[in-house]
Structure 1
Amino acid sequence: MSRSKAMHVRVITFNVWNVEGDSRRHQIINRELRRLKPDLLALQEVIQTREKASLDTIVDGLDMHITHQQDVQAFQPPYSDRCGGTAIATRWPHRVVEVLDPRIPQAPDVPWATLAAVVNLGDVGSLLFIATTAAWRPAAEVARERHAVAISDLDARHRQDLPTLIAGDLNAEPDAASIRFLTGRQSLEGRSVCYYDAWEIAGIGTGKTWTGVNPNALAGAERIIGQRNYHRRFDYVLVGSWDAHPKGRAEIQSAECVLDRPVDGIWPSDHYGVMVDIDVRPNAKAG
């Protein structure tokens, strides 16, 4: 058996916290992303309007192919002018194949669409990259459950030979039903799937991405949760399983928090980012 050549892919997911806080944050985020050099980038809460083109600042000089949800969505959801939307950036050309509107009666104030894009990695093959954000209210797990099922259906409609990558702010801890469903620990609506949680496999540290250690998150925790001592892992990179992708492999090498400390005294966001290094390859063939 010959072993197929792997391609190294660096994935970063980061909630940029719209335009709250210090006006210099977006320049700091850009500086850090230039240093980290992602190949696939999922951004949440990105405001991109004529008056506030924050995406332009965040991705400046990254030399990536960029899509914001407003570029491909037929309408502008309520609250998106102040809460932003989803954006993806890829080192290689991508093609958006579907935009998913996550709003349901239990979560009408979720303006962040889910973007599914096919990314062609050349001789290695193609993969589906899904950038997403789930309902934010603590009591909205039913909406997050339905969202998780919808994402798995989205993947089934468009998946490629290489394993699907899902990246985003899922607003749920690993033991929540929505995450348990996505990671193969329980079924929902009579269905089951399995994606590998990159942090669980190769994470360094606690992985808490929304924590009161960060003063930006502390303000939100006091307002939304009513607690100061609040530390959660809400941000994920998930990798499609072998049985859904018999023709490809994606081996998780490392996972770590990034943009997780102040730069020049300024915290980049209220979330930390998650950076995952993955080796992807077609399955070995007889040689």
Structure 2
Amino acid sequence: MRLRVLTLNVLNLEGDPRRQDILNAEIRRLDPDLVSLQEVVVNEEHDQLARLLDGTGLHGTHQAHTLGYAVPWSERYGGTALATRWPHTVVETLDLRLPETGDVHPWGAIGAAVDIPGEGELLFVATTNGASLADERARERHVVKLAELDDRHRRKLPTIIAGDFNARPEASSIRFMRGLQSLDGRTAGYYDTWEIAGDGPGYTWSYDNPSAAWIMDYIIRQPSPRMRIDYVFVATSQTRHLDGECRVRRAQLAFDQPVDGVWPSDHYGVLVDFELSGNIERFERQPLPWSH
């Protein structure tokens, strides 16, 4: 079956108020099955998640719903949320703040088990990793925590992890996710879906977007930066998901054009189409030594 996954940093409630309706209309048009959203404001005064998902038929959960406490600065910068076409069960929520590294951003990660009709259960993880461009140490800690969450809760189908990683493909945190280096004495193995099926550089945070340009000028102070920092990862099935597969068919940018002169966010989204199967036949051959 086709499975469509979307990730987008929605830039909380800043900027033109028309953005919220633009975001909602585009989510409805794209019709994703699994959604990771970052910088979503949910508190007693605002429920941005409900507004973004209105009319989509998606089931949403925000970190504020599951952490059980308010995170400082979340009223302005929001938190992580996920949404699924089918009902989901939250298995764990991580508070990713790391004061010892200087990273106190109010964002977390949510892991949810989703029962895909006719195929089986899948672990979907939505995350927002540390935003300081100079603090890769914090992001290294974050991705190790994500891999450990997967270890604790993985299901039959390959795990999908999506979000704003705030790191370029060559960064150590992303290299860890791709299985190219170890961190803290452990390894991980996920496919970067854009690397498999994306067209072009796939920049998701770009000076070409006026909503991003001003903050880039403030933070980076270099000419016209463009970065790919938002990702959809899918776990390898070679050793951990022998009865299911999730083949990447297409990866493309979303929310990368203005609507009536209004840019939807300061990030572009990543939209990935998978071919999902939970009923594959195993090879009738001698087991490989690493497949036990």
Pairs within 5 Å for 1:206-285:
206-242=201-237, 243-285=239-281
Instruction: Count residues in correspondence.
Output: 281
Deviation at 1:123, TM superposition (A): 2.0
Structure 2 partner of 1:161: 156
Partner of 2:289: none
For 2:60 and 2:143, the matched residues in 1 are separated by 25
Is the 8 Å Cα contact of residues 103 and 111 (structure 1) preserved in structure 2?
yes
**Can you list the C-alpha shifts for 1:17-74, whole angstroms capped at 9, x where unaligned?**
0111111101000011111001001100000123222222211100011111111112
For 1:35, the equivalent position in structure 2 comes to 29
- The equivalent of 2:185 in structure 1 is 190
Q: Is the 8 A contact 2:58 2:86 kept in 1?
A: yes
Q: How does the TM-score come out when normalised to structure 2?
A: 0.94
**1:48 maps to what in 2?**
42
Between the aligned partners of 1:178 and 1:133, the Cα distance in structure 2 is 13
Runs of 4+ in 1 over 4 A off after TM superposition: none
The DSSP-based 3-state class of the residue aligned with 1:98 is: strand
1:86 matched to 2:59? no
> 1:52 and 1:107 mapped to 2: Cα distance?
28
CA distance in 2, matches of 1:107, 1:13: 26
Query: Among the aligned pairs, what percent are the same residue?
Result: 49
Per the TM alignment, residue 259 of structure 1 is displaced from its structure 2 partner at its CA by 0.4
Once the two structures are overlaid, the 10-residue window that deviates more, 219-228 or 187-196, is 219-228
Normalized against structure 1, the TM-score is what? Answer: 0.95
Candidates 92, 98, 120, aligned match of 1:98? 92
Unaligned runs of 5+ in 1: 1-6
Cα RMSD for the two superposed structures:
1.2
What's 1:26 paired with?
Answer: 20
What corresponds to 1:77 in structure 2?
71
Cα distance, 1:225 vs. partner?
A: 1.3
Which of 244-253 and 254-263 deviates more? 244-253
The alpha-carbon deviation at position 84 of structure 1 amounts to 0.1
In structure 1, how many angstroms separate the alpha carbons of the residues matched to 2:192 and 2:279?
A: 21
Q: CA deviation at 1:228?
A: 3.8
Q: Secondary structure at the match of 2:158?
A: coil
- Give the alignment partner of residue 177 of structure 1, picking from 169, 172, 181: 172
Task: Give CA-to-partner distance per residue, 1:229-267, whole Å, 9 cap, x none.
Answer: 110001000000022211210000000000001001000
| 8 Å Cα contact 1:118/1:128 also seen in 2 | yes
Q: Which residue pairs with 1:119 in the alignment?
A: 114
> Equivalents in 2 of 1:161, 1:194: separation in Å?
16
Aligned residue for 1:13, secondary structure, equals strand
1:189 Cα deviation from its structure 2 partner: 1.1
Deviation at 1:283, TM superposition (A): 4.6
Say which SS state the counterpart of residue 118 (structure 2) adopts: helix
Aligned to 1:4: none
Paired letter, 2:178: T
Q: Which moved more, 1:84-93 or 1:106-115?
A: 106-115
Contact kept in structure 2, 1:107 and 1:135, CA below 8 Å: no
Alignment of 1:128-147 (within 5 A): 128-147=123-142
Name the CA distance, whole Å, in 2 between partners of 1:10 and 1:248: 17
